[in-house]
Chains A and B, each alone.
Chain A
Amino acid sequence: MDYVAIILLQTAISIANLVLISAGLAVIFGMMRVINFAHGEFLMLGGYTAVIATQHGVPLLVSCFILAPVLVGLVGLVVEYLVIRHLYGRLLDTMLASWGVSLILIGLVTVAFGNSVSGISTPFGSLSIGRFSIGFYELFLVAVTLVMVIAGYLVMRYSRVGLIARATMQDRDMAASLGVNQRAVYRATFVTGAALSGLAGALIAPIAGVVPTIGASYLAKCFITVISGGPAIIAGTLSASGLLGGVGGIMTFLATPVLAEVALLAAAVVLLRVLPQGITSKFFRRSQ
Chain B
Amino acid sequence: MKTPLVTSGRLGAVAMILAAAWALFIVPSGGDMTLILSGSIYCAFGILALSLALIWGFGGILSFGQTAFFGIGGYAYAVLALNIGNTTTAALLAILVAAAMAAAIGYFMFWGRLGDVYLGVITLVLSLILYRFINQTSGSEWKIGKAPLGGFNGIPSTPILNDLDGNPLWPEDIYVLCVVALILSYILCRLLLATYFGRVVVALRENELRAELLGYDTRLYKLGVFSIAGGLAGLAGVLFANCVFVSPNMFSLTTSSQLLVWVIVGGLGTLAGPVMACFLLLAFSAWLGTLNAGVWLDPNLVMGLVLTLFVLVLPKGILPLMRSGCDRALAAFRRPAPAAEPGEAMIGEEAR
Interface positions of A (Cβ within 8 A of B): 33-35, 83, 86-87, 91-93, 95-97, 99-108, 110-111, 213, 216-217, 219-220, 223-224, 227, 256, 258-259, 261-262, 265, 268-270, 272-274, 276-277
Contact = CB atoms under 8 A, between A and B. Distances in A.
Interface residues of B, number: 45
Contacts of B325: none
A95 B120 contact: yes
Contacts of A101: 304, 308
B108 A97 contact: no
Contact of A272 (B122, B253, B295, B312): B122
Contacts of A219: 124-125, 128, 253
A259 B141 CA distance: 15
A164 B129 CA distance: 37
Given A35-B120, A258-B135, A276-B115, 14 more contacts: A33-B117, A87-B312, A95-B120, A96-B307, A99-B257, A103-B307, A106-B304, A110-B298, A110-B301, A259-B133, A269-B105, A269-B108, A270-B108, A276-B114
A107 B311 contact: no
B196 interface: no
Interface string B136-159: 100000000000000000000000
B260 A96 contact: yes
Interface of B: 62, 105, 108-109, 111-118, 120-122, 124-126, 128-129, 132-133, 135-136, 253, 257, 260, 264, 295-296, 298-309, 311-312, 315
Contact of A110 (B125, B300, B308, B312): B300
A103 B301 contact: yes
Given A91-B116, A92-B116, A220 B128 contact: yes
3 closest residue pairs by CB, A with B: A107-B301, A103-B304, A100-B308
Nearest to B307: A100
26 contacts: A34-B117, A92-B116, A92-B120, A96-B264, A96-B311, A99-B307, A100-B307, A100-B308, A100-B309, A105-B304, A108-B298, A110-B300, A110-B301, A111-B295, A111-B301, A213-B253, A223-B121, A224-B125, A227-B121, A227-B122, A258-B132, A259-B133, A261-B132, A269-B122, A273-B112, A276-B113
